[in-house]
């Protein structure tokens, strides 16, 4: 699959992962920058977002800062990281705040993580910061917890590429105290924040999510390091390790059924996440009734393309199949490609009204014989 | 469907709540820094927290600290008031009496798992901390994963080293705040010669680190549950994956249970198995179900007997109450004409399991 093919960048990437603004990610990153500098490395700040926080601003002192690039957009001036200037300066280590940031239109690249890729490819080591809610495959879960649809996301494979992920932890109560003291945002914005992301139950849940995600990232990395080792110290089943290293489990292969339906995005995220945890291969497959989607209305065509494109951005291989019967075409493909699990979206609408109709889920379940079928439900709030 | 709904408490519950709150107000607050190995920086973080609280005007003393500290931590130590340890023969214990007489607002206590020498007031340092908390003194403490009772054995299998001292997990659950001191294993390795101060390799450190993060996540999960309970909120969503394997008469479930267990492990989630009353089943189906239940228990599933007329309703009720995120079910071996026309239980489950994924297994 695509992950295997892409070559690893030269520079090492380290991510400071938090669960909310104000947990201290930027501070931690700067602290590490100072430490590396003391050890004799050539360190610069590529982008740093002070948010007017005094401690953080003081911590940035003493590290060379690369001036930002000014970009005009709709009559206003925006500042973005100047990737070209950093490349020219060519430091050993570059500090880049807010990994998930979207650049203003007119920038060379649309996402900051893409700028970081460029730095890594040039052999520059990068320290960066992000929150757990910016991980693409967690988008639905985060929305479910917080009611907020996070727009700026980083694909999971980009995060997976990091050599090191460090959790920046702080208990929610302490964070709320900081917020009330005005140490995170100005008063007005703080009050707004308290009603949204900064509800205590939301923070506690996001923190748990970040801890589990970091544990998973640690797990994935030590699996990679020791791949091939049959048993682990004393046979203690470290979750994930014992199974993934063992050769007796057949390769899992997941097929995600993609349609123009908006639910497809959720299905793709969920499939990607499960595939990552099971270390499974992953396909996204659409079925069209006529060649080249002739019979698809333009709006649906566009939605389908958007979803296929989304899947590819998450490093999922996509296929468009042609067939009159969707269930049959999917299951045929699944059998031919030794798929072990098919992901379908749970159909909309009132179940009773559907009973007598043939529906896709029913049909696929009946035809799939030896294949598991996972019906993914939309999470409501 | 509403996200949450409030439940009205009884007067007894209210009284109980008020009493608990008053008791809570009197006690000191406990904050624990949890590290996965020595050298990760717990003591430093604890001392730094003390420094910041002092800056904010709180009255902070040091009750106990390790004798050998990295230089950064040593510098912090110099700026704070230390209540000297009580020396008796070869051992030194925290001087609880002196701290109680001094009555600070905050006391820093390193090495929670430390065993006091025979003849001391309490056998363990964490019990001394209980006394401080009861006296209204807040405590900031640090502990290493390997010294937590319920994780000692796991850690031992990784490191090959036995530790005799331990703090019960329940003590961590009682903490008001727990903070993970996370850092890449190199931090610990830098201090030794390719291994941590206590002799662990990078691989071992990374395994300990994963366990410490998951332990913290579990503690946080309990906090979330108790928060929601305190506020009368029914939780309808879960951060943790919770897998429910449904055992139905006449379908083999062994492969499903094994897959459930594997998935629960990978997601660091929980495994449940549920079945309907089976007293009226034919002998053959009954014994099959019994062996499936035994397997589920063996693999650590929480087994639940459901009651009710309709399997689907009972399952969904249970799943909602436990925050289940995935239901595993096997499709029927034979389909009756009735099912073909009106849909089987599996079809109903799929279409009615709002908010829960359903994974249908081959039979």
Residue at B135 is within a domain: yes
Residue A318 to residue A316: CA distance in whole angstroms: 6
pLDDT given at position B193: 57
Same domain for B246 and B226, yes or no, is no
Distance from the Cα of B352 to chain A's closest Cα (Å) equals 7
Q: Grade residue A184 by pLDDT with cuts at 50, 70 and 90.
A: confident
Look at residues A146, A164, A170 and name the one whose alpha carbon lies nearest to residue B220: A170
Q: Which residue has the higher pLDDT, A139 or B283?
A: A139
**B304 in reach of chain A (CB within 8 A):** no
CATH of the domain at B321: 3.40.50.620
Q: Grade residue A242 by pLDDT with cuts at 50, 70 and 90.
A: very low
Distance from the Cα of A206 to chain B's closest Cα (Å) equals 8
Look at residues A366, A360, A291 and name the one whose alpha carbon lies nearest to residue A321: A291
Residue at B123 is within a domain: yes
Phi/psi at B252 (nearest 5 deg)?
-80, 135
Same domain for B155 and B286, yes or no, is no
Q: Grade residue A156 by pLDDT with cuts at 50, 70 and 90.
A: very high
Query: Does A109 score more than 60 pLDDT?
Result: yes
Same domain for B221 and B258, yes or no, is no
Distance from the Cα of A175 to chain B's closest Cα (Å) equals 11
pLDDT given at position B163: 85
Residue B300 to residue B298: CA distance in whole angstroms: 5
**B300 in reach of chain A (CB within 8 A):** no
CB within 8 Å: A208 and B224: yes
Is the Cα torsion angle B194, B199, B202, B205 positive or negative in sign?
negative
Residue A94 to residue B271: CA distance in whole angstroms: 44
Query: Does B60 score more than 80 pLDDT?
Result: yes
Same domain for B151 and B277, yes or no, is no
Average pLDDT for chain B: 86
Query: Does B77 score more than 80 pLDDT?
Result: yes
CB within 8 Å: A243 and B262: yes
Look at residues A97, A232, A274, A130 and name the one whose alpha carbon lies nearest to residue B359: A274
Query: Does A82 score more than 60 pLDDT?
Result: yes
Kindly state the percentage of chain B with pLDDT values over 90.
41
Same domain for B157 and B44, yes or no, is yes
B60 contacts B80 by C-beta, under 8 angstroms: yes
Chain A positions in Cβ-Cβ contact with residue B237 (cut-off 8 Å):
144-145, 379
**B329 in reach of chain A (CB within 8 A):** no
At which of B230, B263, B289 does a domain end? B230
Predicted complex ipTM:
0.78
Look at residues B221, B172, B170, B213 and name the one whose alpha carbon lies nearest to residue A201: B221
Distance from the Cα of B205 to chain A's closest Cα (Å) equals 10
CB within 8 Å: B206 and A225: yes
B85 contacts B93 by C-beta, under 8 angstroms: yes
Residue B139 to residue B226: CA distance in whole angstroms: 22
Distance from the Cα of B91 to chain A's closest Cα (Å) equals 34
Domain with CATH 3.40.50.300 in chain A: 9-222
pLDDT given at position B203: 87
pLDDT given at position B14: 79
46-85 in chain B: CB under 8 A from chain A: none
Chain A positions in Cβ-Cβ contact with residue B220 (cut-off 8 Å):
204, 207-208, 211
At which of B230, B260, B280 does a domain end? B230
Same domain for B192 and B57, yes or no, is yes
Q: Please give the residue of chain A at the shortest CA–CA distance from B221.
A: A208
Same domain for B207 and B275, yes or no, is no
What kind of architecture, by CATH, is found in domain A250-376? 3-Layer(aba) Sandwich (3.40)
Helix, strand, or coil (residue B5)? coil
Chain B positions in Cβ-Cβ contact with residue A142 (cut-off 8 Å):
none
Q: Which domain holds residue B292?
A: 242-361
CB within 8 Å: A233 and B204: yes
Same domain for B54 and B75, yes or no, is yes
Residue A272 to residue A283: CA distance in whole angstroms: 9
Average pLDDT for chain A: 84
Which residue of B53, B204, B214 is the best one to mutate when testing the A interface, meaning the one whose CB has the most A CBs within 10 A?
A: B214
Least confident of A26-30, A184-188, A267-271, B63-67: A184-188
Same domain for B174 and B299, yes or no, is no
Same domain for B253 and B356, yes or no, is yes
Same domain for B142 and B255, yes or no, is no
Residue at B16 is within a domain: no
pLDDT given at position A350: 56
Q: How far apart are the first and last CA of chain B?
A: 33
**B217 in reach of chain A (CB within 8 A):** yes
Domain with CATH 3.40.50.620 in chain A: 250-376
A291-300 exposure pattern, b = at least 16 Cβ within 10 A, e = fewer: eebeebeeee
pLDDT given at position A148: 86
pLDDT given at position A200: 84
The string of pLDDT tens digits covering residues B306-350 is: 988 788 899 999 998 888 999 999 987 776 766 666 678 888 888
pLDDT given at position B59: 96
The string of pLDDT tens digits covering residues A317-367 is: 999 999 888 999 999 999 999 999 999 998 776 555 444 445 888 889 888
pLDDT given at position A352: 52
A9-222 CATH choice from 3.30.43.10, 3.40.120.10, 3.40.50.300, 3.40.50.1370 = 3.40.50.300
Look at residues A342, A270, A259 and name the one whose alpha carbon lies nearest to residue A305: A259
Q: How many domains does chain B have?
A: 2
Chain A positions in Cβ-Cβ contact with residue B361 (cut-off 8 Å):
372
User: Between helices B202-230 and B149-159, what is the axis angle to 10°?
Assistant: 160
- Which residue of B217, B342, B358 is in closest CB contact with A211? B217
CB within 8 Å: B265 and A370: no
Chain A positions in Cβ-Cβ contact with residue B354 (cut-off 8 Å):
377, 380
Residue at B132 is within a domain: yes
Q: Which residue has the higher pLDDT, A4 or A193?
A: A193
Look at residues A233, A177, A166 and name the one whose alpha carbon lies nearest to residue A200: A177
Task: Name the helix (H) or strand (E) containing A120.
Answer: helix A112-121
The string of pLDDT tens digits covering residues A84-104 is: 999 999 999 999 999 999 999
252-281 in chain B: CB under 8 A from chain A: 262-263, 265-268
pLDDT given at position A228: 42
Q: What's the pTM?
A: 0.81
Same domain for B163 and B261, yes or no, is no
- Which residue of B1, B178, B357 is in closest CB contact with A375? B357
pLDDT given at position B195: 64
Distance from the Cα of B55 to chain A's closest Cα (Å) equals 14
Chain A positions in Cβ-Cβ contact with residue B221 (cut-off 8 Å):
208
At which of B230, B262, B293 does a domain end? B230
């Amino acid at each position: 699959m695509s992950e295997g093919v892409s070559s690893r960048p030269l520079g090492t990437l380290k991510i400071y992962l938090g669960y909310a603004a104000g947990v201290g990610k930027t501070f931690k990153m700067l602290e590490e920058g100072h430490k590396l500098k003391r050890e004799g490395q050539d360190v610069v700040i590529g982008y740093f977002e002070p948010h007017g926080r005094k401690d953080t601003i003081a911590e940035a002192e003493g590290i060379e800062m690369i001036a930002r690039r000014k970009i005009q957009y709709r009559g206003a001036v925006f500042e973005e990281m100047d990737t070209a200037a950093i490349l020219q300066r060519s430091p050993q280590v570059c500090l880049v705040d807010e990994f998930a940031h979207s650049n203003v239109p007119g920038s060379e690249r649309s996402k900051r993580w893409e700028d970081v890729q460029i730095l890594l490819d040039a052999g520059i080591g990068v320290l960066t910061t992000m929150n757990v809610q910016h991980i693409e495959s967690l988008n639905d879960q985060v929305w479910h917890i917080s009611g907020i649809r996070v727009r700026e996301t980083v694909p999971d494979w980009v995060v997976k590429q990091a050599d090191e992920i460090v959790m920046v932890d702080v208990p929610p109560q302490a964070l709320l105290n900081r917020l009330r003291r005005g140490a995170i945002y100005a008063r007005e914005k703080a009050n707004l924040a308290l009603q949204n992301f900064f509800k205590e139950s939301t923070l506690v849940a996001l923190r748990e999510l970040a801890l589990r995600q970091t544990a998973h990232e640690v797990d994935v990395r030590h699996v990679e390091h020791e791949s091939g080792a049959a048993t682990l110290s004393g046979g203690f089943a470290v979750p994930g390790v014992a199974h993934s290293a063992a050769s007796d489990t057949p390769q899992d292969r997941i097929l995600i059924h993609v349609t123009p339906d908006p639910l497809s995005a959720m299905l793709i995220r969920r499939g990607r996440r499960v595939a990552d945890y099971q270390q499974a291969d992953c396909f996204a497959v659409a079925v069209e009734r006529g060649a080249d989607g002739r019979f698809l209305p333009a709006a649906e065509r566009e939605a389908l393309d958007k979803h296929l494109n989304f899947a590819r951005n998450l490093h999922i291989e996509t296929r468009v199949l042609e067939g009159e019967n969707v269930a049959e075409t999917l299951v045929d493909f699944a059998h031919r490609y030794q798929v072990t699990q098919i992901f379908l979206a749970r159909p909309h609408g009132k179940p009773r009204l559907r009973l007598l109709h043939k529906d896709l889920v029913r049909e696929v379940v009946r035809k799939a014989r030896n294949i598991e079928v996972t019906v993914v439900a939309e999470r409501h709030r | 469907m509403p996200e949450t709904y409030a439940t009205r408490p009884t007067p007894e519950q209210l009284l109980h709540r008020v009493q608990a709150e008053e008791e809570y107000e009197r006690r000191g607050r406990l904050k624990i820094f949890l590290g996965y190995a020595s050298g990760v920086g717990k003591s430093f973080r604890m001392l730094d927290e003390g420094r910041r609280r002092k800056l904010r005007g709180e009255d902070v003393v040091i009750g106990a600290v390790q004798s050998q500290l990295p230089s950064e931590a040593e510098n912090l130590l110099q700026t704070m008031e230390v209540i000297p340890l009580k020396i008796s023969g070869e051992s030194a214990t925290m001087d609880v009496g002196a701290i109680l007489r001094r009555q600070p607002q905050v006391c820093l206590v390193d090495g929670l798992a430390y065993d006091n020498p025979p003849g001391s007031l309490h056998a363990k340092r964490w019990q001394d901390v209980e006394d401080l908390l009861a006296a209204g003194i807040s405590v900031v403490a640090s502990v290493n994963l390997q010294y937590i009772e319920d994780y000692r054995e796991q850690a031992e299998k990784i490191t090959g080293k036995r530790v005799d001292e331990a703090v019960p997990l329940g003590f961590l659950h009682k903490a008001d705040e727990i903070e993970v001191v996370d850092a890449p294993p190199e931090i610990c390795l830098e201090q030794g010669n390719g291994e941590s101060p206590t002799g662990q390799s990078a691989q071992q450190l990374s395994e300990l680190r994963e366990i410490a993060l998951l332990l913290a996540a579990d503690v946080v999960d309990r906090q979330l549950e108790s928060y929601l309970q305190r506020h009368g909120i029914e939780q309808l969503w879960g951060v943790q994956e919770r897998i429910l394997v449904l055992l139905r008469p006449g379908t083999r479930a062994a492969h499903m249970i094994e897959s459930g267990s594997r998935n629960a492990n990978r997601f660091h989630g929980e495994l449940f198995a549920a079945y309907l009353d089976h007293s009226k089943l034919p002998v053959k189906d009954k014994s099959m179900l019994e062996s499936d239940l035994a397997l589920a228990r063996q693999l650590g599933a929480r087994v639940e007997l459901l009651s009710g007329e309709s399997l689907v309703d009972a399952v969904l009720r249970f799943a909602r109450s436990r925050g289940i995120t995935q239901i595993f079910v096997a499709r029927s071996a034979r389909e009756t004409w009735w099912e073909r026309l009106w849909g089987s239980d599996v079809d109903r489950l799929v279409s009615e399991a709002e908010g829960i994924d359903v994974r249908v297994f081959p039979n």
